[in-house]
């Protein structure tokens, strides 16, 4: 089995002093590691995959698109405001110093569809919690929050109460 931890690079003081950034690019560059990560993410879902995977811009797209392809499901994308060309729904969330917003096409999730929300990293959970609200607003049901990496000390999973949280790696 591939030890995915060996493919995560720790970069101190990025993007600002005091932050230890967990860089997934070495994992993406190593075909065996990326394949192992996607396979590990997909395995528990294989028997009963969601109707749709939904991913948050931009690194979440990398994992969710591979999962959607592997399991034969659709992919809904969640982006920053002004990036989607069709009618959207918007959710706001809090940041350390301020607020931000994310958007999804209003027809991306159909009422009653099951959705696995995917991102590369779980930190404080605010963005993913807002994504879950968007899915619910469109009539979908989040069945799992799925991440490649969790920064456990930030306790982001406490905000994600609508469904189980699963992470491949925890730091």
User: Under a CB-based contact definition with an 8 Å cutoff, are residues 76 and 104 in contact?
Assistant: yes
Please report the pLDDT score of residue 121 as a whole number.
Answer: 97
Mean pLDDT by groups of 10 residues along the chain of 171 residues:
94 94 98 98 98 97 98 98 98 87 98 98 96 98 98 96 98 97
d(CA 8, CA 26): 6
Catalytic residue among 32, 35, 73, 96: 96
Please report the pLDDT score of residue 97 as a whole number.
Answer: 75
Q: Can you list the domains of the chain with their CATH numbers?
A: 50-170 (3.40.50.2020)
0.75 surpassed by pTM? yes
Please report the pLDDT score of residue 69 as a whole number.
Answer: 98
145 dihedral zone (left: phi>0; alpha: psi -120 to 50; beta): beta
Please report the pLDDT score of residue 43 as a whole number.
Answer: 98
Please, what is the average pLDDT of the chain?
Answer: 96
With helix as H, strand as E and coil as C, how does 63-95 read?
HHHHHHHHHCCEEEEEECCCCCCCCEEEEEEEE
Catalytic residue among 9, 35, 57, 59: 59
Active site residue 59: yes
d(CA 119, CA 122): 7
Please report the pLDDT score of residue 98 as a whole number.
Answer: 82
């Amino acid at each position: 089995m591939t030890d995915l931890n060996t493919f995560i690079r720790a970069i101190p003081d990025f993007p600002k002093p005091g932050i230890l950034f967990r860089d997934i690019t070495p994992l993406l560059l190593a075909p065996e590691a990326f394949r192992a990560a996607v396979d590990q993410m997909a395995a528990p879902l294989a028997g009963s995959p969601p109707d749709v995977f939904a991913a948050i811009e931009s690194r979440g797209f990398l994992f969710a698109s591979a999962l959607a392809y592997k399991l034969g499901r659709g992919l809904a994308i969640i982006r920053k405001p002004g990036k989607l060309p069709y009618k959207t729904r918007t959710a706001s969330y809090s940041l350390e110093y301020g607020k931000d917003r994310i958007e999804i096409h209003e027809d991306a999730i159909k009422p009653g569809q099951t959705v696995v929300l995917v991102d590369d990293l779980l930190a404080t959970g605010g963005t993913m919690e807002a994504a879950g609200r968007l899915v619910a607003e469109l009539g979908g049901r989040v069945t799992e929050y799925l991440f490649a990496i969790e920064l456990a000390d930030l306790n982001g999973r406490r905000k994600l109460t609508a469904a189980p949280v699963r992470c491949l790696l925890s730091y």
